[in-house]
Amino acid sequence: MASLVKILCLLSALTATSSALSCTVCASATSSSCSGNSITCPSGSSCGSTYTVAKSGGTTAVSLIRACTLTSQCSFNGSISMVQATIKTGISCCDTDNCTPILPTVPTPSSNSNGVTCRSCITADSTWCYTSDTIQCTGDENMCLLQSTEISGELSTAIRGCSTKSFCDLGSQSTSVGGVTTNVKFICTSGGMTVHKVLFTPVIVCLLLLKVF
């Protein structure tokens, strides 16, 4: 369960980078609101809230992160499903100093099969994950995803499952904060479609907040 929370954090924080706009920066691992200090954002950003809901078995975990967020990602909405586990993420934004974005919506569950079958696994100590277990994809989750994360060689995770294309289409980025370098790679396939390899920047503080699932 703890590994899913680490992945939840990494998937829930989608990069920060606006022109002299001041935004509140904070994170909560237990609720849909938080408060914190104000920072000046780089050009090209809005004040964003990234909200993630992860479910595993009968347990639900939520994460909210407020930060400078790339304006191009302000309408992000996506989900990932594994055997007995789901991760759903949404982003909302506003564009005045220290404004509070509305709570983002996350994708609604769907039971309608889309004909795609993907392998499904989670690992907390490797950037590789493979299994014979499969999951029948539903709704807009029509991509098979292998997502791997590595933080300065100290933390590595990997998951396989069904995913919306929105996760595959995130911009290619990596980040280094305080000497800690984070790379997140998505490899997505759907039938004969071309593989997509991209990176995105997570907010590291979320890892410190979520200890267990």
**Inter-residue contact 213 to 2 (CB < 8 Å):** yes
Q: What is the pLDDT of residue 197?
A: 42
Comparison of pLDDT for 58 and 195, the residue scoring more: 58
Q: What is the pLDDT of residue 121?
A: 93
Q: What is the pLDDT of residue 198?
A: 41
Q: Please state the three-class secondary structure of 74-136 as a single string.
A: CCCEEEEEECCEEEEEEEEEECCCCCCCCCCCCCCCCCCEEEEEEECEEECCCCCCCCCCEEE
pLDDT exceeds 80 at position 184: yes
Q: 187, 127, 122: which is closest to 151 by C-alpha?
A: 127
pLDDT exceeds 90 at position 193: no
Number of structural domains the chain divides into: 1
* Residues 124-162 pLDDT 10s: 888 898 889 999 999 999 999 998 888 886 788 899 999
Residue range(s) defining the domain that contains residue 83:
2-209
pLDDT exceeds 50 at position 48: yes
